[in-house]
Amino acid sequence: MKKQTLTRCPNTVDLELGHTDSENNDENQRSLFSLLGFGLPRLLSNEELGGEPTGQGSLPTLVEELVELAKKPEHREDDPRRIVLVGCVAGKNNPGMKTQTGRAGTVFMDRATIEAKELYSSTLWTKRRRYAESSGDTWGIMSAFHGIIKNDAQIETYDFSIKDRKEINELRGEELFARKLIGGIAIVSGSKNWDIDGKIILEIHAGAPYVKMVRDAIRLNGLEDQVQVETPVKGLQIGELLRWYNEQDEQGLELQARA
């Protein structure tokens, strides 16, 4: 099949309207590719792009791919990895009980486990979770009882508050739990052990006591130059928090509509 050649590129208005035959001059028409940092490529046929042979080139597909590439900043190995940490809430689902069989064949009942992200239940939790999932970043959960865990970790329900954690840390010292928090960050980031590999940005969505524990853990383990903390919802009360997450949802929907 005869290959087609791209002689011009549509401007952004043409793309919005689905037009590919603008009357704009060649200089303006080529500007989009120049801004994206690409030379002017040959227009691929639909067949080359994996579709049915039509004899037609697929310029919109090509341009959409280039635009998506331009949206994503180049990632280097030494760039910090971003992790979204979501604080737990008091409301919890009850996974119920499960039947266990002992070594001697005895049958007994034990608590069932559930994925951590499915355990918690509240309006705030739902919005925090949706934000974390839509961020595109790795995300984990900060629990007063478990520390920092992967969102799909299998856990039992529990009744343990941040106040309980403070009391235990005062009795046992905060160093032990601080080390557990750092180990949790490492595991959530993909490390196979409790050591953090490379630089990390922690975007924390939790109350001030949780943020303080993480900052203290970073300090006690001497990781201030390796782990950076961001708190985009710092100081917001519950009503303000819910509005903030609603605004993020609306912005996400607008971006999807434009895509």
pLDDT tens column, 79-132: 899 999 999 999 999 888 777 676 766 665 678 899 999 999 999 999 999 999
Per the DSSP assignment, residues forming a β-bridge with 73 are none
The tens digit of pLDDT for each residue in 3-52 reads 444 444 444 334 334 444 444 444 554 554 444 454 444 444 445 445 55
Phi, psi of 69 (to 5 degrees): -65, -40
The tens digit of pLDDT for each residue in 150-187 reads 999 999 999 999 999 999 999 999 999 999 999 999 99
Q: What is the DSSP string of 162-230?
A: HHHHHHHHHHH-HHHHHHHHHHHHHHHHT-SSSS--S-EEEEEES-HHHHHHHHHHHHHTT-TTTEEEE
The answer to whether 132 and 86 have CB atoms below 8 angstroms apart is yes
Structure tokens at 52: 């049915």
Name the residue among 74, 84, 73, 72 with its Cα closest to residue 200: 84
Q: Cα angle at 248 between 245 and 253, to 5 degrees? A: 130
Does this model's pTM top 0.75? no
Per the DSSP assignment, residues forming a β-bridge with 48 are none
